[in-house]
Amino acid sequence: MSTATYRHSTDIYNKFTSNRFAAAGALIVLALFVLSFLAPYITPFSPDDLDAYHVLLPPSANHWMGTDELGRDVLTRIIYGARISLKVGFVAVGISVFLGTVAGLLAGYFGGWIDQLLMRVVDIMLCFPTFFLILAVIAMLEPSIWYIMIIIGLTGWMGVARLVRAEVLSLRERDFVVAARCIGASHMRIIFRHILPNAMSPVFVSATLGVAGAILIESSLSFLGIGVQPPVPSWGNMLTAGKDYLEFAWWLSLFPGTAILVTVIAYNLVGEGLRDALDPRISRM
């Protein structure tokens, strides 16, 4: 790593950590990762353990978030549910970022009919209400976490494509790109060696915010009963089960709902912090 690159990375890190809200969001996201990966070692219960003698117990020393209608520990199911939410978020966003980046690079760099064709596809996709499109497709298929991740990814790449295209339109006229053309560099080398690394900043921000959106969509689908199916723990299907006992077992809805709220806010804070840290026009130092 060169000295200039190291200093640039250090500046980004310092700007990000100086934003207390962004740093707090990053700590929450990190805690979610740790909890989800170490779940079997953190809680003595299994998410599928049934206990007919301890049904709908309120929060206590033995069950910090109470038990559900089948005697399962709510905290354990929330921790295991974090695995589902993180998996859906990252796989779905990975698909959308890949498709959007490729489309944006091709449209912005080559222009002409390629740009017109890809942008018209983007416009057509944006005409459909994304959630209802996902709802319709999932309803026709067998409920599966893999279908959910793939469909969310296939319907969420348009914003990334527009961001990347805008960056490429600016970058392709820069001196270092013109110089690469003059020495005979191929289109692929210019795109992947010179343009793509300089166009990734908005992609990182969009990806972070996209994870929060994917988690919300997965939770909504699971709440409606066409997402992750019981007994696999998901924050959405936990909310669905809890609504039938809301009057006398408030913890069944409060804690999964709070988990969704805190996670989405944390990712949004991280995304906002990255946007400020990666923008050279904003200085927090």
Residue spans of the domains in the chain: they are: 29-38+66-278
Average pLDDT, the chain: 87
Token output for 144: 């599966």
pLDDT score of 246 more than 70 = yes
Q: pLDDT of 61-106, one tens digit each?
A: 999 999 998 999 999 999 999 998 888 889 999 999 999 999 999 9
Question: How many CB atoms within 10 Å of residue 284?
Answer: 13
Q: Which of the listed ranges 34-48, 92-106, 131-145, 241-255 does the model predict with the highest average pLDDT? A: 92-106
Q: How high is the pLDDT of residue 5? A: 55
Architecture of domain 29-38+66-278 in CATH?
A: Orthogonal Bundle (1.10)
The angle subtended at Cα 283 by Cα 281 and Cα 285, nearest 5°, is: 160
pLDDT score of 284 more than 50 = no
Please give the average per-residue pLDDT across 142-160, as a whole number: 86
Give the residue from 41, 165, 160 showing the smallest Cα distance to 105: 165
Give the residue from 31, 120, 151, 122 showing the smallest Cα distance to 82: 31
pTM above 0.85, yes or no: yes
CB 138 within 8 A of CB 226: yes
Q: How high is the pLDDT of residue 280? A: 57
% pLDDT > 90, the chain:
37
Cis omega (within 30 of 0) for bond into 197: no
Q: How high is the pLDDT of residue 285? A: 42
